[in-house]
Structure 1
Amino acid sequence: TLQDVAFGGRGAARNAVLVTPCLSGSDLQSSHCTLDEAFEDLDWETEKSLEAVACSTEGFLPPKVMLISSKVPKAEYIPTIIRRDDPSIIPILYDHEHATFEDILEEIEKKLSIYHKGAKIWKMLIFCQGGPGHLYLLKNKVATFAKVEKEEDMIHFWKRLSRLMSKVNPEPNVVHIMGCYILGNPNGEKLFQNLRTLMTPYRVTFESPLELSAQGKQMIETYFDFRLYRLWKSRQHSKLLDLDDVL
């Protein structure tokens, strides 16, 4: 009987044949995808709950991460000109010549954990060199709309970065780009579109306004003491090493 098979009675287990429905290759693939999606949904909800607990702490301020490339002239001074009245700003200066994407991600994770365990990024500033349609993130690593579609390490970086973005922010998380005017030609908007797609299902928007515009001023004031930023900017390409005294 079925009960005998289930509990091993009368030697049935030895002779029992397990009958399973035949699954075609496409059925198996579909089943596998459904399982993956179920686990991803579970992970998403678990991580969202943990982040919600972190955010509910009294006095919690959503973190703003600043990623600063050492390739930017006088980059070493940037952490000294951030807003001093906002403890949620986390400056990270990375070595453009020698750092890897993995190094950057690990440093962001570490700094977020030190700031507040379970916290995720609501706003982010990437301060690096580049130009219309491209970002010069690391030595020999230029992000363009085409490269973020096909270069594995580039794809991996943006996907991993997306997982450090907030799941509880009621607004889309913002990534600001400074140090170059990436929207100087249509390829810049294509790059932003591809990055938004890569970072789905996280809601992320990319902005790179001109610094002299009203939007640009607002962006600068989100992260910097505006007066000190203007001062730094005016001396950024100067050979006079007087910034130490001024700042």
Structure 2
Amino acid sequence: ADICEFLLADDTNWFPKENMFSFQTATTTMQPLLFLLHFDFSTHRNFRKHLRMVGSRRIKAQTFAERRSKSFSRSWSDPTPVKTDSPNEPRDSGDLQTSCGTLDEGGLVEGIDWEEEREMERLACEGDDFIPPKIMLISSKVPKAEYVPTIIRRDDPSIIPILYDHEHATFDDILEEIEKKLTAYRRGSKFWRMLIFCQGGPGHLYLLKNKVATFAKVEKEEDMSQFWRRLSRFMSKVNPEPNLIHIMGCYVLGNPNGEKLFQKLKNLMRPYSVEFESPLELSAQGKEMIEMYFDFRLYRLWKTRQHSKLLDYEDLL
């Protein structure tokens, strides 16, 4: 099915719509045929690296297959016990909530030494070459979301794009990917700026399938509130100003519930200091937000063709 979908794709819409992994599978399977037909896909191969989505079912299946392969490769005579996860123990990737402590009702952090962690971050970020990282979370629900990593500012290596699968990703998937990306950027670093690019509207954020962040839902649903608490652990402690989270793709402040939602999130993320902003893109503040993360010329081109079938990767190069 992947192969047929690839061969039937027209020149202006060369990648499958349903699942961006189908394109990668098809190109891998059809390489000998494509060579004979003299197709030049070097540009598309460069683009393909941007199309990995956090939380996709295919990545989960591959990960499980790898684990199963490693499990069956063990010698049956090997007496070494296999350590299994228990509910009270952190996973291999790190139980983010356990390792970071918990918040009590007064907003204080239990189980960690705030000053010690801040000192560790300061040491990790020493050096004139260090630029505080900016995390960009991009929901696949955004039209033409797969192109967004290609239009970020090329003169700012501190921008870290994370494209996640709105349909299948979990809050854990997103948090684990942020942790991995920050460690790869520089071990011990925390983000100072974050852009959440997702659908939503006045007073709500459509983060994941069946997970709409509103004031009432964040207050009542434990997994929703835990996500924001755990997200705050990746915010900087050494930033002299409040860490900034931009919301893009929707206007959350379109009614009073938007301000109530932001205030609720700020309370959940204490004692970390954070400000939320959701400016209109056509405003001066919105333009400033766009220019912080994107090549403005490429962003305008992407925006004008966001709902068109004419958008092609070469247009963004």
- Normalising by structure 1, what TM-score? 0.83
Cα distance in 1, alignment partners of residues 121 and 223 from structure 2 = 27
1:235–1:243 CA contact under 8 A, matched in 2 = no
Cα distance in 2, alignment partners of residues 39 and 151 from structure 1 = 21
- Output aligned runs, 1:141-220, within 5 Å: 141-220=211-290
Size of the aligned set, in residue pairs, is: 214
Out of 100, 110, 127, which is 1:57 matched to?
127
Amino acid of the structure 1 residue aligned with 2:156: D
Cα distance in 1, alignment partners of residues 119 and 192 from structure 2 = 16
The structure-2 alpha-carbon separation of the partners of 1:223 and 1:38, relative to structure 1 and needing over 3 Å to count, comes to closer
Unaligned runs of 5+ in 1: 1-32
Out of 206, 215, 221, which is 2:291 matched to?
221
Cα distance in 1, alignment partners of residues 109 and 151 from structure 2 = 43
Residue 77 of structure 2 corresponds to none
The structure-2 alpha-carbon separation of the partners of 1:244 and 1:197, relative to structure 1 and needing over 3 Å to count, comes to same
Residue 165 of structure 2 corresponds to 95
Cα distance in 2, alignment partners of residues 236 and 244 from structure 1 = 15
Is 1:66 paired with 2:136? Answer: yes
2:153–2:295 CA contact under 8 A, matched in 1 = yes
CA drift of 1:142 comes to 0.2
SS of the residue corresponding to residue 250 of structure 2 reads coil
The structure-2 alpha-carbon separation of the partners of 1:122 and 1:39, relative to structure 1 and needing over 3 Å to count, comes to closer
Cα distance in 1, alignment partners of residues 112 and 172 from structure 2 = 26
Identity of aligned residues (%): 78
- Normalising by structure 2, what TM-score? 0.65
Cα deviation digits, residues 130-188 of structure 1 (max 9, x gap): 01100000000000011111101001100000011000000000000000111111111
Q: Let me know the Cα RMSD of the aligned residues.
A: 1.9
The structure-2 alpha-carbon separation of the partners of 1:95 and 1:42, relative to structure 1 and needing over 3 Å to count, comes to closer
SS of the residue corresponding to residue 146 of structure 1 reads helix
Amino acid of the structure 1 residue aligned with 2:255: N
Out of 156, 176, 179, which is 1:109 matched to?
179
Amino acid of the structure 2 residue aligned with 1:73: P
Cα distance in 1, alignment partners of residues 148 and 264 from structure 2 = 29
Residue 116 of structure 2 corresponds to 46
Higher Cα Rg, which structure:
1
Cα deviation digits, residues 171-224 of structure 1 (max 9, x gap): 000000000111111111110010000001000000000011111010000000
Cα distance in 2, alignment partners of residues 46 and 194 from structure 1 = 28
Cα distance in 1, alignment partners of residues 250 and 227 from structure 2 = 20
The structure-2 alpha-carbon separation of the partners of 1:155 and 1:246, relative to structure 1 and needing over 3 Å to count, comes to closer
CA drift of 1:58 comes to 3.1
Cα distance in 1, alignment partners of residues 264 and 316 from structure 2 = 41
Amino acid of the structure 1 residue aligned with 2:230: R
